[in-house]
Structure 1
Amino acid sequence: MDPAVRMVFKNMTTDLAEQYPALVEPAKLILKKCNGLPLAIVTIGGFLADQPTKTAAEWRKLNEHISVELDMNPKFEVIKTVLMKSYDGLPYYLKSCFLYMSIFPEDRNVSRRRLAYRWIAEGYARDKATADRYFMELVERSMILPTQQSVCSIQGFDSCQLHDLIRDISIAESMEENLVFRLEEGCSSNTHGAVRHLAISSNWEGDERELESTVELSRIRSLTVFGKWKPFYISDKMRFLRVLDLEGTEGLRNHHLEHIGELLHLRFLSLRGCHEIFYLPDSVGNLRQLETLDIKGTGIAMLPRTTIKLSKLCYLHAGSGSGDNEKTYFSKCEDICEMQRDLCVGCCSLDLSDLDGFGRCEAFHLVCCLMYPNIIRGIEDSGVKVPRGTRKLKALRTLRYVHLAWGIAIIKEIKGLTGLQKLGVVGINKKNGPGFCSAISSLSHLESLSVRSGDGLNGCLDGMYTAPENLQSLKLSGSLEKLPEWIKGLQNLVKLRLELSKLSGNLETMQVLGKLQNLSILGLWDDGFKIDVLRFQTGLFRRLMVLDLFYSRMEIKLVEFEEESMPNLELLTLSLGDTEIAFSGLELLQSIKEVRLSVHSYLFGTPKSSKNGGNEKMGKTLYEMMKREEERNKPMQDKVRQELQAQLDRNKNRPVLKVQ
C-alpha cells in the first residue's frame, strides 16, 4: 500500500473510533475490500460519509453486497469504469492470463510458479521466462497484487492475488466468455455448457449427477480442485483435458489415479502436497504431451519406468526439497535392492482385506512404510529415484529433487540431460561426489543448482574443476571445512545460500564470497556451534542487496559491519534462536532500507491437532512447550530489538525495523 494512503487510513480510523466506535469493525472490512486501491477508498468513503444515518448494520450490508452496489449504484460507477478501462487496456496476451486468475478462490495466494506452468500448458506463454514476464507486467499494471516477496528470490515476488474489486471483473468477464466456471456453494445449477476451465471449490457439496448436468465435461480443458477429493471429479468424458491441478487436495489416494494415462492431451499435472500419494501408475507413460509434473510434497520415492516416454517433459518437481536437513539412512544401492525383495515377499503374504478404502498396491506400500520406516523415510523426505533412460528426456529444463544414493546410474542419467537449467539433488557423499562433479561440468546451460547432504559436503564437491559459467543460483546444505575452489570462479552468481555449512565467521570464506562481483543475495543458515565474530569487511560484497542470517542454538558474540561494507545492502533479515548476539556498524550501512527480526524457538512450526486422541494430546504438549519457549525468549528479543533500533536510528536512511 502507498505510504500516503496508509497514513490516510490511520487518520480515518482514529477519527472514526472517536466519533462512531461501533463502525470501526465494519469499516475495517470495507477497507480490506478496497485493499489499498485509492480510487475505491475515496469513492466508497465519500459515499458512506454522505449517508444521513451511520449504523454498523448498514455498513456491513454494503460490505457484503459491494459487488452488486458497483453494478447498481451510480455513485460507484466511476470505480467500475476505471477498472474496466484498465482491463480493456490490457494487450491480448495478458487478458487471458488475467481472466485465468478467476479460477482461484477469494483471498487465495497463488504462487508464481503455479501460474507460470499452467499458462505454458494452456498456450498463453511460450516458456517459463515469458510467463514470468507476463506475471510482472500484470503486477506493474496493478491488475494483480504481489503478496509475498521471498527474501532470497532472484525473481522477486513469489505469489499474488486479485484485488477483490478487480476479481469481480475477472469473474464476470471470464463467465461471459465461457472461459471459467467455479462450482461452489450457491452457484447456479443451470447448464453452463462449453466452459474451458472448471474449478471445484471446497464448499461445493454436489454429486456426480449435478456435475454432469451443470457443465459439458467433454469441453473442459482444465480442472482445478480445492478442498476434499471425490472420485467422480475426473470423468472419462474429459478427453481433451490439458491441465489437472490437484495441489493440496485432501483425501486423494493412489487408486484414484489408476486411469490417469487416459488423459492423452494432459500437459500439466500437479499432485503437490497430496501426502497420501505414494506412487504413480505406469499409465503415466501414456501422457506424451506432458510438460509439467509436480509431485513435490508427496510420498513418491520412485518414478515409474514409463516416465522415460514423456519426451516433452520440461519441468519435474519431486521430493520434499524444503531445505530441511534430511538424514541419509543408506549409502549403497545394493542394500535397497535387497530390502525391496524383502518388502515384496512380506507384503504378498499379508491379508489386506481389513484395509478398507485402499487399493492392493496402495496397501502394499503402506505396509512397507510401517515395516521399514527408516528406509522409506530416507527416500521420501528428500528426493526421488529416476528410472534408467531418463537421459532421453532432452526437453527437461528443471529436475528437483533427485536422490543420488540410489547409485551411480542416477548420476549418468543426469549427465545426459544437457539442456538442464535447474537441478536439485540430495544424498551426495564422498563415493558419488566425483561422478556428480563430472556430470555438473557437462551441463553448460545450468543456471540453478541445489545440493543437500545430511552427512556433510566435505570432500564431495572438490572434483569440479570448471563450474557451469551460467550458474546464477547456488544452494549448498551440509557441513563444510572450506568452500570448494570452483566457487571463486562463479562470476555470474547472483544468489548463494549456505545451510549448516559451519562456515559463518570464517574469514577466508567471507573474503571469497565478498569478491563475487555479481552476488546480490546471500543466505547464511547455521546451527549449534560457536562464533566469536562474524565480520563483513570494508570493500567486499559490493553488489549485495539482501543478507539473510538464520542462526539457531548458536553462540555468536558479535556481528560487525565495517565502514563501506555492503554499500548496496537494502534488506537485512535476522532469524535468531537460543542465542544472544551483539551488532555493530548498522548505522554505517549506506543503502539499508529495512531490517526484519524474528526470535524463534528451536521447535519450529505450530503442531496441528488431530482427531486421533494421542496425536492431539502430543500436539497440545508441543504447543505448550513452544509457548513457554516463546515467553522465555521474549526478554532476549526485546534486548536485541532495542539494540538494533538504537543503531538504525543513527543511520541517515532511517531504515524500518520489523519484528516478526
Structure 2
Amino acid sequence: MNANGSDCSRGRAGCGRRRKAKQKGLQDRADATEAGSSFNIASTTSSNSADNKSLTHTEMTIADFKEYEQVGREKEKSDIIKLISNEDSQQLDVISVWGMGGLGKTTLVRDVYQSQHLSVRFRYRACVTIMHPFNCDELIKSLARQLDAEDYENKEETGLAGGRTKPRLQRSLTDILEGKKYLIVLDDLSSTTEWDSIIQHLPARETSSRIIVTTRSENIARHCSKKQENIYKLQILGYEDGLNLFMEKVFHKIAYLNDEYPELVEQANLILKKCDGLPLAIVTIGGFLANQPKTALEWMKLNDHISAELEMNPELERIAAVLNKSYDGLPYHLKSCMLYFSIFPQDDKVSRRRLVRRWIAEGYSRELRGKSAEEIAESYFMELISRSMILPSQESIHSRRGIDSCQVHDLIREIGISKSAEDNLVFTLEDGCGLNNRGTIRHLAISSSWKGDQCDFKSIVDMSCIRSLTVFGKWRPFFMSEKMRLLRVLDLEGTSGLVDHHLTGIGKLLHLRYLSLRGCDDIYHLPDSLGNLRQLQTLDVTYTSIIELPRTIIKLSKLEHIRAGGIGSNDGGTHETYADTLCTLALSSMAFCVGCCAPQVLKEVMDMDGDPNRRDVCTACCCNKLPSAATRQSPNGVEVPRGTRRLKALDTMGVVNVSGSRGKAVLNDLKSLTRLRKLRVTGINKKNSQDLCSALSNLSCLESLLVRSEGNPGLSGCLDALPSPPKKLQSLKLYGNLVKLPEWIAALWNLMKMELRSSRILEVDAAMQVLGNLPNLAILRLLRHSFASEELRFSLNRDAAFPSLAVLELSLLDKLESVEFQGGAAPKIELLQFRGWRYKANTVLFAGLPSLLSLKQVLLKGRYEDGFVDDLRARLAGNPNRPVLKLN
C-alpha cells in the first residue's frame, strides 16, 4: 500500500518502514499512536504477506493504548453511535469528530466502527487513515478494496482497477456503492481540499449511508458536516476518568491513591495537571512510570524536568511527536502567534484583546485588502481555537464574540517553550534559571518567582535587541533599561510596586507601540514625555489611579486604542452630602501636608505598594486625591485634553469623563473621530447631553457604546435628542437613571448585546416590547436597579419576542418576584443566569421554563434555601432539553 492511504487493518507500520530518517520514523510512530495504530478489522479487508509482517509493531501499540477504550469514553461512544443510527435522516450524513491531537479521536472512532450494533446496520464498511502527502487515487483504491474486496481483486487481474485513469477508478467506487447503505471512516483529515477530492468519488444519490471524519480542526469539521448536530467536539477527560486511566496504566488496576499510596498523591496530581485530561499523555507517562520505582522522589524528578523528558526520553517522545504534528501543520503566520504564548505563565488565562493588540504591535498582523490589522489578528486567534492549539477558557456572556480569553494546554506550552528557546525567541527570567550566554533575545518575560538583583539582570546578553518586555509580579526599577531602544511592547499588566517616577524614562522608548499599565493602582500620573512615543498604538491604563491623561497625548497620531478608567460598583446613587465632601476635602488637605513632609507616612495611609518619592506622593495628592474630593469627580473615568480630534486613527476610547470644564470641548472633538468603533463615556448630564447626542450622530462606524451618569436625574432625558443612532451599533450599555428607554433603541436592528444598570425603568412592559422586537439581540443583561418592577414577562402574548436571545442575565433586581416566559418567546435561549436574595423555599420565581427548548444551563449565583433550588430543578426537569442547573 502506498503511503497516501492505508487500510485500517494494516495501520501505518508499512509507511514507517519506508522512512529511514530517525525524526521521520518517530513521527510515523507518533501518527500510528494517535490513530490507535490500527483499527484491527482484518475480517473486513484483504491483506498481503508484506503487510502482515508489520502486525508485530501494530499489536504492541494497540496493547499500549488499549486503556483508551476502557476508561472515560463510554458516553462519547454512545453519543456518536446515536448520531450514526439516526433513523430520521434518510440521506448521506457526515459525522465529524474533532479536537486536539492526543485526545484519542481515532481510538474512539475505532470502537464505534467495530460495535456490533453498526456491523449489523451496515454491510458495506471501510476505513482509511489519510496519509501525507495526500494521494486521492491511492485512497480511493483502498476504499474500493475494503468495500468489495473480491470484486476489486478480479478487476485488478483484468486490469480494470489498477493502472487506469482516474475516471475509471471513480466509476469503480461509484459502481460498488450505488444503491447500497455504507459506513466509511476517514481518519485524520487535515484540509478541506482533501475532503473535496474524496467526496466527489462517492454516489450523489440520497441514501442512509454515513461517513465519519476525524480531524483536529473545527473549520474542517464544519466543512464536512453541514448539520450542526453532526459536529462532535471531543473533550479532554475529566479528573476522575483521567485519574482512573492513570492508575490503570501505572498499577494495572483502579487504585485508590489516598489509601494505598498516600506518599504519591501530591506528585500524581501534578502529573495529571500537566496531562490536563489528554489521554495520550496520561497513557504514555503512566506506562513509563509503571516500570519505574513507585516513589515520590522518582515522580518528582519527572515533574521537575518534564520538558527535557519529552525531548530526550524515548518512551515519552511520542507525546511530543503527536503534538508537534499539530504545530508543524500550522501556516507560517500562525506559528509565530503560537510561540508567542511562551511569554505567559503556566495556567495563565490570556485575554483575547491583550493578545490581538500585542500581535499587531509586533507586526504579526497588518491591514490587508480592506481588512484592518485587528480583524486579521482576530481571525488568527479564532483559527488557533479552531485548530485546538489554544483552548477557550471563558465562553463569556460579557463578549458578543463569545470567547474573552484562552489557555494553552501545559504540554503544548512546553513544546512551544522548547521551540522558542531554540531560536532565542522567548526567554523567561524565573527562579533557578541561568542568565549567561543567552545570545540575542527578542521577548523577555520576568516571572514573579525571580529573586535576582540588578547585577544578575545586566548579565543578559544584548538587551538592545529586545522587542517586548512583560513583567509578572513585582516591578524593580532596573527592569527598564536604556539599552531597550527597539522595544515595541511594554506590558506591565497587574504588576505591583510600580509608582509614578519609575515611568520618567518611558519617553526614550521611541519604537514603543503597546503600553499596558492595566491594574497598576499605584500609578496616579503619566509623564509628559509620553508624547514622544509617536509609534504608540495601544495605551491601556484601566484600573489605575489615573484621572487625567497628559496634554501631550494629542501628539500620538498613530494611537488606536485608549483604554482607561474602569466601571466600578457604584450604581448611580445619590452623591454624598456637602458636609461629607467638606470632610473628605479636609482629610485630603491634611494628607497633602503630610505628603510634602513625610512620603513614607502617606505611603502607608494611601496603601501604596511601591517605593514612592516625595514627588510621587505630592502628585497623588495634588493631581488626584484632592481634585477628586473637591469636585466629586467620578473615579470611573479619565479626563482627556482638548484637541483629541487630531487622533484620527482612534478605534477605541474610554472610559472618558466629560463632567469637568473640558467636557463640552471633548465631546465636540469626538465628532471628528469618524473611525471610532468603541466609545465609553461617563459624567453625562443635562448640560452636556446635547453635545453627546450631536457627537454620536457623526460616528457612523460605532459598534460599541457605554454611557454612564451618576446620581439623580442621571440619564433621564439625556439621550432623547439623538435622532439617528449609529446604524452599526452592536453593543449598548446604559448605566444611570433612565426611567424609560429612548425611542431610538427600537431602530437598532444590528444590536447584539444590551446591558442596563441603575436605569430604574418604570414602563416595564413597554421596554420589554421594544427589546423583544430587536431581531439580533443575543445577550441581555439586566443588572441592579435596572427595572423597578415585581414582574418580567418575556413574550407579552407574542410568539416572535426575543427571536435571537441566547443569554439572559438577571442580577440583583431587588423587587423582582416573577419571571415568566410565555408561548414561543426566546426560542434560542441557551443560558439563564440569575443572582438575587430573599428567595425562600416556597418562592416560585420562574414560570414557563419547559417551553425554552434550547435552554442548556441555568446558573444561580448567591445563596438560596434548598426548597427554592429543588423547585427550580423540578421545573427544569420538565424541559425536554434537560438543562443543567449550576450553583455558584
TM-score bracket, normalised by the shorter chain, equals 0.7 to 0.9
Structure 1 residue aligned with 2:809: 548
Q: Secondary structure at the match of 1:527?
A: coil
The whole-number CA distance in structure 2 between the counterparts of 1:42 and 1:13 is 6
**Does the C-alpha gap of structure 1 residues 290 and 490 become closer, same or farther in structure 2, counting only changes over 3 Å?**
same
1:377-526 alignment to 2 at 5 Å?
378-379=633-634, 381-406=635-660, 407-455=663-711, 456-503=714-761, 506-526=764-784
What are the superposed Cα offsets for residues 138-192 of structure 1, whole Å, 9 maximum, x if unpaired? 1121211221121131111111222111111111111111111111111112121
The whole-number CA distance in structure 1 between the counterparts of 2:490 and 2:386 is 29
CA deviation after TM superposition for structure 1 residue 32, in Å: 1.6
Query: Unpaired segments of 5 or more residues in structure 1?
Result: 331-335, 337-341, 600-632
Q: 2:242 aligns with which of 9, 30, 49?
A: 9
Q: Do structure 1's residue 374 and structure 2's residue 629 form an aligned pair?
A: yes
Contact 2:358 2:489 in 1 (8 A): yes
The whole-number CA distance in structure 1 between the counterparts of 2:800 and 2:704 is 27
The whole-number CA distance in structure 2 between the counterparts of 1:82 and 1:652 is 40
- Superposition TM-score, scaled by structure 1 size: 0.87
Q: Secondary structure at the match of 2:810?
A: strand
What are the superposed Cα offsets for residues 171-230 of structure 1, whole Å, 9 maximum, x if unpaired? 111111111111111111212121111111111122222222123111111111111111
Contact 1:326 1:382 in 2 (8 A): no
Q: Do structure 1's residue 574 and structure 2's residue 820 form an aligned pair?
A: no
1:489-638 alignment to 2 at 5 Å?
489-503=747-761, 506-527=764-785, 531-537=789-795, 538-551=799-812, 554-579=814-839, 582-599=845-862, 633=863, 636-638=864-866
Contact 1:200 1:224 in 2 (8 A): yes
Q: Secondary structure at the match of 2:812?
A: strand
Structure 2 residue aligned with 1:63: 303
CA deviation after TM superposition for structure 1 residue 235, in Å: 0.9
Contact 1:496 1:523 in 2 (8 A): yes
Greater shift, 175-184 or 532-541, is seen at: 532-541
The whole-number CA distance in structure 2 between the counterparts of 1:216 and 1:570 is 53
Instruction: Return the letter of the residue paired with 1:67.
Output: S
Structure 2 residue aligned with 1:219: 465
State, as a whole percentage, how many aligned pairs show the same letter. Answer: 52
CA deviation after TM superposition for structure 1 residue 29, in Å: 2.6
1:320-399 alignment to 2 at 5 Å?
320-322=566-568, 324-325=570-571, 352-355=596-599, 357-368=611-622, 369=624, 371=626, 374-375=629-630, 378-379=633-634, 381-399=635-653
Q: 1:284 aligns with which of 525, 530, 545?
A: 530
Contact 1:33 1:165 in 2 (8 A): yes
The whole-number CA distance in structure 1 between the counterparts of 2:709 and 2:408 is 39
The whole-number CA distance in structure 1 between the counterparts of 2:430 and 2:364 is 26
CA deviation after TM superposition for structure 1 residue 565, in Å: 1.2
Contact 2:365 2:374 in 1 (8 A): yes
The whole-number CA distance in structure 1 between the counterparts of 2:680 and 2:302 is 50
Structure 2 residue aligned with 1:31: 272
What are the superposed Cα offsets for residues 292-331 of structure 1, whole Å, 9 maximum, x if unpaired? 000111111111111000000000100013564366969x
The whole-number CA distance in structure 2 between the counterparts of 1:175 and 1:4 is 28
The whole-number CA distance in structure 1 between the counterparts of 2:762 and 2:280 is 49
Instruction: Return the letter of the residue paired with 2:402.
Output: G
CA deviation after TM superposition for structure 1 residue 16, in Å: 2.8
**Does the C-alpha gap of structure 1 residues 323 and 150 become closer, same or farther in structure 2, counting only changes over 3 Å?**
farther
Q: Secondary structure at the match of 1:320?
A: coil
Instruction: Return the letter of the residue paired with 2:832.
Output: L
Instruction: Return the letter of the residue paired with 1:595.
Output: V
**Does the C-alpha gap of structure 1 residues 350 and 559 become closer, same or farther in structure 2, counting only changes over 3 Å?**
closer
Greater shift, 140-149 or 483-492, is seen at: 140-149
CA deviation after TM superposition for structure 1 residue 374, in Å: 2.5
Structure 1 residue aligned with 2:445: 199
The whole-number CA distance in structure 1 between the counterparts of 2:628 and 2:643 is 29
Q: Do structure 1's residue 40 and structure 2's residue 266 form an aligned pair?
A: no
CA deviation after TM superposition for structure 1 residue 361, in Å: 3.8
Structure 2 residue aligned with 1:619: none
CA deviation after TM superposition for structure 1 residue 343, in Å: 13
CA deviation after TM superposition for structure 1 residue 434, in Å: 1.3
Greater shift, 71-80 or 98-107, is seen at: 71-80
CA deviation after TM superposition for structure 1 residue 528, in Å: 9.2
Contact 1:16 1:24 in 2 (8 A): no
Contact 1:327 1:453 in 2 (8 A): no
The whole-number CA distance in structure 1 between the counterparts of 2:592 and 2:244 is 71
CA deviation after TM superposition for structure 1 residue 447, in Å: 0.5
The whole-number CA distance in structure 2 between the counterparts of 1:166 and 1:233 is 29
**Does the C-alpha gap of structure 1 residues 597 and 505 become closer, same or farther in structure 2, counting only changes over 3 Å?**
farther
CA deviation after TM superposition for structure 1 residue 561, in Å: 1.1
The whole-number CA distance in structure 2 between the counterparts of 1:351 and 1:8 is 59
Instruction: Return the letter of the residue paired with 2:643.
Output: G
CA deviation after TM superposition for structure 1 residue 5, in Å: 2.9
Structure 2 residue aligned with 1:228: 474
Contact 1:304 1:387 in 2 (8 A): yes
CA deviation after TM superposition for structure 1 residue 507, in Å: 0.9
What are the superposed Cα offsets for residues 22-67 of structure 1, whole Å, 9 maximum, x if unpaired? 355543332221113232233234444x447645554444334333
RMSD: 2.8
Greater shift, 297-306 or 210-219, is seen at: 210-219
**Does the C-alpha gap of structure 1 residues 562 and 67 become closer, same or farther in structure 2, counting only changes over 3 Å?**
same
**Does the C-alpha gap of structure 1 residues 351 and 365 become closer, same or farther in structure 2, counting only changes over 3 Å?**
closer
Q: Do structure 1's residue 645 and structure 2's residue 873 form an aligned pair?
A: yes
Q: Do structure 1's residue 94 and structure 2's residue 340 form an aligned pair?
A: no
Structure 2 residue aligned with 1:270: 516
Contact 1:469 1:492 in 2 (8 A): yes
CA deviation after TM superposition for structure 1 residue 346, in Å: 10
Larger radius of gyration: 2
Contact 1:248 1:273 in 2 (8 A): yes
Instruction: Return the letter of the residue paired with 1:477.
Output: Y
Contact 1:226 1:246 in 2 (8 A): yes
The whole-number CA distance in structure 1 between the counterparts of 2:265 and 2:742 is 59
1:94-133 alignment to 2 at 5 Å?
94-126=334-366, 127-133=373-379
Number of equivalent positions: 613
Contact 2:500 2:523 in 1 (8 A): yes
What are the superposed Cα offsets for residues 341-373 of structure 1, whole Å, 9 maximum, x if unpaired? x99999998882432553454222233355555
Q: Do structure 1's residue 81 and structure 2's residue 321 form an aligned pair?
A: yes
Instruction: Return the letter of the residue paired with 1:571.
Output: L
**Does the C-alpha gap of structure 1 residues 128 and 375 become closer, same or farther in structure 2, counting only changes over 3 Å?**
farther
Instruction: Return the letter of the residue paired with 1:577.
Output: W
Greater shift, 155-164 or 18-27, is seen at: 18-27
The whole-number CA distance in structure 2 between the counterparts of 1:573 and 1:58 is 46
CA deviation after TM superposition for structure 1 residue 466, in Å: 0.5
Contact 1:300 1:384 in 2 (8 A): yes
**Does the C-alpha gap of structure 1 residues 504 and 572 become closer, same or farther in structure 2, counting only changes over 3 Å?**
farther
Instruction: Return the letter of the residue paired with 2:804.
Output: R
The whole-number CA distance in structure 2 between the counterparts of 1:451 and 1:567 is 30
**Does the C-alpha gap of structure 1 residues 208 and 10 become closer, same or farther in structure 2, counting only changes over 3 Å?**
closer
What are the superposed Cα offsets for residues 239-294 of structure 1, whole Å, 9 maximum, x if unpaired? 11111111111111111111111111100001111111111111100100000000
